[in-house]
A and B are shown apart, each in its own frame.
Chain A
Amino acid sequence: MRIDLVLELLDVPGQLVKVLEPISGVGVNLVTVIHKRDYKNENGNVPVQLTLEGEQEDLQRLIQRFEDLGFTIIEMDGVVKKEKISTIFFGHIVDQDLRDTMDRINELDGVVIVAFDIKLNGEEKSTALINIEADVGRKQAVFDRIAEIAEEKDLLVINEV
């Protein structure tokens, strides 16, 4: 079988060789490699696109090997891999311009709020559970933005451990 992968590489010398090295070791054939060193994505990393052919088992082993080596796989067979983030806000969420809060999270590249569940408590502070999907490697940007909003709007944030 054949798979397409997009991996993210740090912009330092020797990274491409490190990616290519394990491929033959597990008995997988490299069909295509597209690597444009002068293009960087929003994380400041260089994406490399690989098309690989081999037994499913060997391909799985290779993917595991890539992950063990610390390479981030951001796309597999055209599907962008996502990370799910859940967080809770507590405070005057609605009064502190809820629309603005959501827009500022959504405007981050590769980040989208997929669910928002709020419990209102009259004039008192309210509690909201927010589910966010983010492209691989964008988690920290989300946490930073959440912290910034919380600080500004005096919200208590409960992030995942």
Chain B
Amino acid sequence: MDECKVIIMGFGSVGQGVANAISMKKDLIYEKTGVAVKVVAAADSSTSAISQDGLDEKLLVETKKNEGKLSAYPEFGCDTNGVDVLDAVEYDCLIEATPTNIVDAEPALSLTLKAFEQGKDVVTSNKGHLALKFREVVGAAEKAGVQFRYEASVGGAMPIINLTKETISSCKIESIKGILNGTTNYILSRMTSEGSAYEVILKESQELGIAETDPTQDVEGIDAACKTVILANSLLGIDATYSDVKVKGISDISSEAIELAKKDDYLIKLIAEVSPDNLQVSPRLVKRGSSYDVSGTLNMATVKTDLAGEISVIGLGAGSLETASAMLTDLISILKNKN
């Protein structure tokens, strides 16, 4: 294979990050794999731009930013959307970056299954289908004999899935504990450093764009619980779904609790625990100066292994180019496996 035609589904922050990252790293990917990556379609929630001869990544991002929709892309913009995009053009790999939906996992689920049916590889940043139907989706990829990678779904730029599956593949994984949500880590860090109340910091985080207008998914631990399910299934082989995780968020954390914890040299963090007897997201006490002591929007994870002891990673858990970096790494892995 000397050319890889990709479709980018979902053109929000992550999708645009992927377009930008491809534009920046095309040459590098060619050097590493001998494959030229070409974006043949990109779609937002209702429109798309499609061209078998390839689209200009920068122009896609500019169009979306300036016009608000991809149908405004010169010459190749159109109203085709959803799964129809996958029928409208020849492609090799679907880069799926639609928003996470933990009610019915759509549109990610239909897009992904359709791509598998068509015999195409998929890279995703989406958590919904993985948290709700991990076995089904991964099983469908295996049955179709295609590659399916989802590093970006957990921890953004922080390598955890590929690290554990590939780099330390000699080890049995006993547990994973970590901070898998940057927004809550930011809120708790600021509550700790400033002594302010939860509501005050949440409001400021919303103004800064770190927390969303509806912060429920982050502050109630839902986002971290989805990631817990993905890690449980993919790295510990636990057949779990979202409802198996005990979830408690941070909205009840008072500044008094943080102050009392400090007295004993502890910090309060929203910790996801993945082990065969416990799938849990909850506020926990962590020792100051321990590997869990990371602040701001950073994510971290400590993997407990049988041979290598504990291995910890820290990285940016969100962000446009950061998340795209993980997806591009997955794409490169797919290309390397193919050739």
Contact = CB atoms under 8 A, between A and B. Distances in A.
A90 B257 contact: yes
A128 B292 CA distance: 22
B285 A88 contact: yes
B264 A158 contact: no
Contacts of A159: 282, 284-285
Nearest to A86: B264
Interface in B247-273: 248, 252-254, 256-257, 259-261, 263-264, 266, 268-269, 271, 273
Contacts of A88: 257, 260-261, 268, 285
Contacts of B256: 119, 121, 126-127
B286 interface: yes
Given A117-B260, A129-B264, A158 B285 contact: yes
B177 interface: yes
Point out which of A117, A125, A131, A160 has the most chain B C-beta atoms below 10 A from its C-beta. A160
Interface string A139-161: 00000000000000000101111
Given A127-B254, A129-B264, A161 B286 contact: yes
A7 B255 CA distance: 42
A27 to B, nearest CB: 28
Contacts of B257: 88, 90, 127, 158
A83 to B, nearest CB: 14
Interface string A85-123: 011101000000000000000000000000001010100
27 contacts: A86-B266, A87-B285, A90-B254, A117-B263, A119-B256, A119-B260, A121-B256, A127-B254, A127-B257, A127-B260, A129-B260, A129-B261, A129-B264, A131-B264, A156-B248, A156-B252, A156-B283, A158-B257, A158-B282, A158-B283, A158-B284, A159-B285, A160-B266, A160-B285, A161-B271, A161-B285, A161-B292
Given A156-B248, A161-B177, A161-B271, A128 B285 contact: no
Contacts of A87: 285
Contacts of A158: 253, 257, 261, 268, 282-285
A139 to B, nearest CB: 14
A67 to B, nearest CB: 14
Contacts of A129: 260-261, 263-264
Contacts of A117: 260, 263
A137 B312 CA distance: 26
Interface size class of A (residues with CB under 8 A): 10 to 19
Given A117-B260, A129-B264, A86 B285 contact: yes
Nearest to B264: A86
Given A90-B252, A90-B254, A127-B254, A160 B261 contact: no
Interface string B272-313: 010000000011111000001000000000000000000000
A128 B259 CA distance: 10
Contacts of B177: 161
A126 B248 CA distance: 18
Interface in A2-24: none
Given A86-B264, A88-B261, A161-B284, 5 more contacts: A86-B285, A119-B256, A127-B257, A158-B261, A160-B266
A4 B229 CA distance: 47
Contacts of B284: 158-161
Contacts of B259: 119
A127 B271 CA distance: 20
B283 A160 contact: no
* 8 tightest Cβ-Cβ pairs between the two chains A and B: A129-B260, A127-B256, A119-B256, A161-B284, A160-B285, A127-B257, A158-B283, A161-B286
| Most central of A87, A129, A131, A158 by chain B CB within 10 Å | A158
A127 B252 CA distance: 11
A129 B268 CA distance: 12
Which of A86, A121, A125: most chain B Cβ within 10 A?
A: A86
Contacts of B285: 86-88, 158-161
A161 B266 CA distance: 10
B250 to A, nearest CB: 10
A52 B286 CA distance: 37
A26 to B, nearest CB: 23
Residue among A119, A126, A127 facing the most chain B CB atoms (10 A cut-off): A127
A156 B284 CA distance: 11
A128 B271 contact: no
Contacts of A127: 254, 256-257, 260
A131 B253 CA distance: 19
